[in-house]
Amino acid sequence: MAGPVTFVLNSGPAAESTATAIKLAERILARGHRVAVFAHDEAATLTAGKGETAQAIAALIRRGVHGATLDWVVDSAAADRLGVADSQIAGVVPGDHADLWAFVRGSAIVLSPGTAA
């Protein structure tokens, strides 16, 4: 497979499908593939604060330093709207939909669980 796998996340940590997507990203990283995540809407809260989900993602980002790479971009507008722009964990990159388009163009696979019902 050529190119990274991109995940597009819309929902927050309470969504079962979001948790599955993060765990699947972890498994794909472990296989040595590059992974990119674009988090917009409620997903901007995943990497905010010191909660369990944010710490798990921080560990994934740190793992990328030593091998397969994880790029995690949070939509700045969503983070601002939800009041979490200033509490993002280290390694998360603020961005916009131009970054999403760049991920999509450069990826072999783009996966999105959609918005939780």
Residues that bind other proteins (CB under 8 A): 1, 5, 16-17, 20, 23-24, 27-28, 30-31, 33, 109, 111-114, 117
Least separation, in Å, of the C-beta of 79 and other proteins? 23
Least separation, in Å, of the C-beta of 90 and other proteins? 26
Q: Which is nearer to other proteins, 93 or 109 (CB)?
A: 109
Least separation, in Å, of the C-beta of 80 and other proteins? 27
Least separation, in Å, of the C-beta of 50 and other proteins? 25
Positive or negative: CA dihedral 27, 107, 44, 112: negative
Q: Which is nearer to other proteins, 33 or 63 (CB)?
A: 33
The three-state secondary structure class of 2 is: coil
How big is the CA angle at 12 (ends 7 and 16), to the nearest 5 degrees? 80
Q: Which is nearer to other proteins, 102 or 110 (CB)?
A: 110
- Neighbouring C-beta atoms of residue 44, cutoff 10 Å: 27
Q: Which amino acid is at 1?
A: M
Q: Which is nearer to other proteins, 24 or 102 (CB)?
A: 24
- Count, residues in the chain: 117
Structure tokens at 109: 């696979």
Distance between CA atoms of residues 104 and 31, nearest Å? 21
